């Protein structure tokens, strides 16, 4: 049996900026190949697995995205310092002092900043902007850097996962390797209905892979497995916290991309209650996931999203609670096992 938590840690070590998900896809392909019936990669790079059901029923799509936020080299400046832009939502302020790996050869680099000694009062007041940041790959000059790096190369965070505190995991890429690990684990089971496991690309830059994946699959139902925002720290008003760490997977009622199918959400809640699995509702309506694209594909799809709360999401040190991860796994599994009951109701 697959150890989903070990798989999660392993997947966070792999690099997969949006549009450059090969390493993650290759590993997932190896992992799931033994227990799925068909497997293929589509033109945009989505990994789509098919697992035949033991009976008949609607088509169910399970989806998690492989890509993570990253950087792209846009200019090689004097002294061999690299200018870059973000691929996906990254706060420039969190980039300062971070280690990165540049290009296909994963050259070590660091994002530096002006020393505090040299900053003016105005410098300290203003939030750092992307245009003021550079990646230093240790080159002595522009020519040296040009021999090592090409424009369009990716830079990814160079951070190993760390288990710490009370069952917490600190890592880059928890959004959405957490969903990928759960999805891979779920595919071991055979269900009564046909299941399509879709590991999608380019979610972080506009939910792009999911659009083509869902048109190919044309499912009736879809459950999206995600990592989501969490900021349950002091000085945040309770009603503005999107989720809480340790209170179970968060279900989405509505965000900027989707209004979930309410009967499906209610069914998941009912499943959680029956099995004593903790869950919570995401309280903020911000953000969007692949659910939006999947719902709007073809003649429409009934969708719901469950997500592991991740503090400091979209940084190299996002934090999840192992209890939430395990609860999402159990909730997704229990939901799928009794999903035919829902088919009967509608």
**For binding to another protein (CB under 8 A), which residues are involved?**
220, 238-240, 253-254, 257, 259-260, 262, 265, 281, 283-285, 295-302
Q: Is 165 exposed, middle or buried (0-12, 13-18, 19+ CB in 10 A)?
A: exposed
Q: Give me the least distance between CB of 205 and another protein, in Å please.
A: 18
Quick one: 212 or 295, whose CB is closer to another protein? 295
Q: Give me the least distance between CB of 302 and another protein, in Å please.
A: 6
> Which of 221, 195, 204 minimizes the C-alpha distance to 24?
204
Quick one: 297 or 315, whose CB is closer to another protein? 297
Alpha-carbon separation of residue 123 from 114, 226, 315 (angstroms): 9, 37, 23
Quick one: 224 or 265, whose CB is closer to another protein? 265
Degrees, nearest 5: CA angle 241-309-203: 105
Q: Where do we find the tokens 């293929």? A: 40
Q: Give me the least distance between CB of 94 and another protein, in Å please.
A: 24
Q: Give me the least distance between CB of 88 and another protein, in Å please.
A: 21
Quick one: 167 or 284, whose CB is closer to another protein? 284
Residue 30 annotated to the active site: no
Q: What six digits make up the tokens of 86?
A: 């973000």
Cis? peptide before 29, omega within 30° of 0: no
What is the C-alpha to C-alpha distance for residues 230 and 32, in angstroms, rounded to an integer? 30
Catalytic pick among 21, 203, 204, 226: 203
What is the C-alpha to C-alpha distance for residues 253 and 260, in angstroms, rounded to an integer? 5
Q: Give me the least distance between CB of 300 and another protein, in Å please.
A: 3
Quick one: 89 or 298, whose CB is closer to another protein? 298
Q: In sequence order, which residues have a C-beta less than 8 Å from that of residue 19 and are 6 or more positions away? A: 45, 67, 87, 201, 202, 205
> Which of 159, 90, 162, 93 minimizes the C-alpha distance to 125?
93
* Residue ranges in the chain assigned as alpha helix (H): 4-13, 22-32, 121-125, 142-148, 174-186, 208-217, 262-275, 291-295, 322-345
| Residues belonging to the active site | 203
């Amino acid at each position: 049996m697959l150890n989903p938590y070990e798989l999660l840690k392993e997947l966070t070590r792999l690099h997969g900026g949006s549009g450059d998900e090969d390493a993650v896809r290759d590993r997932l392909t190896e992992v799931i190949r033994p227990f799925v019936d068909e497997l293929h990669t589509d033109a945009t790079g989505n990994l789509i697995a098919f697992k035949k059901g033991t009976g008949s029923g609607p088509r169910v799509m399970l989806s998690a995205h492989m890509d993570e936020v990253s950087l792209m080299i846009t200019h090689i400046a004097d002294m061999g310092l690299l200018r870059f832009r973000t691929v996906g939502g990254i706060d420039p302020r969190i980039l300062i002092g971070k280690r990165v790996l540049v290009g296909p050869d994963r050259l070590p680099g660091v994002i530096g900043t002006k020393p505090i000694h040299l900053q003016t009062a105005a410098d300290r007041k203003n939030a750092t902007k992307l245009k003021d940041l550079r990646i230093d790959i240790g080159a002595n000059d522009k020519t040296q850097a040009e021999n090592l790096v090409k424009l369009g190369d990716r830079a990814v965070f160079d951070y190993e996962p760390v288990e710490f505190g009370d069952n917490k995991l600190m890592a880059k890429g928890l959004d959405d390797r957490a969903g990928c690990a759960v999805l891979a684990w779920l595919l071991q089971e055979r269900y009564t209905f046909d299941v399509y496991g879709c590991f999608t690309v380019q979610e972080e830059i506009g939910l792009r892979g999911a659009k083509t994946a869902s048109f190919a699959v044309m499912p009736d139902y879809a459950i999206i497995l995600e990592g989501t925002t969490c900021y349950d720290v002091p000085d945040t008003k309770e009603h503005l916290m999107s989720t809480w760490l340790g209170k179970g997977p968060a279900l989405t009622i509505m965000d900027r991309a989707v209004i979930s199918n309410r009967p499906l959400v209610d069914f998941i809640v009912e499943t959680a209650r029956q099995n004593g699995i903790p869950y919570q509702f995401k309280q903020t309506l911000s953000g969007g996931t692949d659910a939006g694209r999947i719902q709007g594909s073809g003649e429409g799809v009934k969708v719901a999203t469950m997500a592991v709360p991740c503090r400091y999401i979209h940084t190299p040190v996002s934090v999840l609670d192992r209890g939430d991860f395990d609860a999402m796994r159990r909730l997704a599994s229990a939901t799928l096992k009794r999903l035919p009951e829902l088919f009967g109701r509608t």
